[in-house]
Amino acid sequence: MTAPVRFHQKVAIVTGAAQGIGRRVAERLQAEGAWVLAVDRSELVRELADEAVLTLEVDLETVEGAQAAAQAALDKWGRIDILINNVGGTIWTRPYEHYTPPQIEAEIRRSLFPTLWSCHAVLPSMQKQGSGAIVNVSSIATRSINRVPYAAAKGGVNALTASLAFENAQRGIRVNAVSPGGTEAPPRRIPRNTQTQEDPQEAIWYQQIVDQTVASSLMKRYGNLDEQAASILFLASDEASYITGTVLPVGGGDQG
């Protein structure tokens, strides 16, 4: 039995593609026939380079980085059919009162602004061609512990998903999001923060997140990369042609 080819010659931008969910999404899009622009600020993204995969290293926390990514896809293929916004992730884990103001701002910049900027950068070309699918990666952490700034950022992702869907449904553009729950992935090759030694208290707070995540899941387990990628690819595909403005929880029954 051959795998479906849902994305034959579709042009897809995948952000945060160097590791984890983003990397798996880029690999599966390419396997199903897409031309992929894999974007990350880490040079690890170069490992995905292929005849059908163009890689780009930019900082998507800046509007210039997002514009450069959109332009790279347009210069290479002349169109953008799919945008997967995957940049984000908790940098620190701690009760809210233990965050410093710079840390709060850093969390918001990391997990909200890349999605805002990237959507803004691709919309003109999608509107001009009268078609497109955007899938934003949110999180069930919008209802969780020890990561309030991250939760606020992902709540913003959910809100912009709904609002963009309202504005663009009549223009042929669908905008949806997935909210992954806890996900098993290989160890990060580049950490989200620059601490060289693990803080024992931070480890305790992180374990509290793990325990709460498992307890909140009806299945009492973490998901895996393919379970997350499958939901993202579904919403990006024509199989989801009558779905827009939806935030799909993918957390083993945890609705976030």
| Residue-wise pLDDT tens digits, 68-98 | 999 999 999 999 999 999 999 999 999 999 9
d(CA 40, CA 47): 11
More confident residue, 186 or 30: 30
Average pLDDT over residues 228-251: 98
Residues 65 and 62: their CA atoms lie apart, in Å, by 5
Q: What does the pLDDT look like over 104-156, one tens digit per residue?
A: 999 999 999 999 999 999 999 999 999 999 999 999 999 999 999 999 999 99
More confidently predicted of 21 and 198: 21
- Residue 96 annotated among the catalytic residues of the structure: no
Out of 96, 99, 150, 222, the active site residue is 150
From the options 3.10.20.90, 3.90.1150.10, 1.10.240.10, 3.40.50.720, give the CATH code of 11-250. Answer: 3.40.50.720
pLDDT at site 188: 66
Give the global pTM: 0.94
> Tokens 């890689």 label which residue?
55
Q: pLDDT band at residue 1, thresholds of 50, 70 and 90?
A: very low
Domains in the chain: boundaries: 11-250
pLDDT in tens, 172-226: 999 999 999 999 987 766 666 655 456 899 999 999 999 999 999 999 999 999 9
- The arithmetic mean of pLDDT across residues 37-53, rounded, is 96
Mean per-residue pLDDT, 224-237: 98
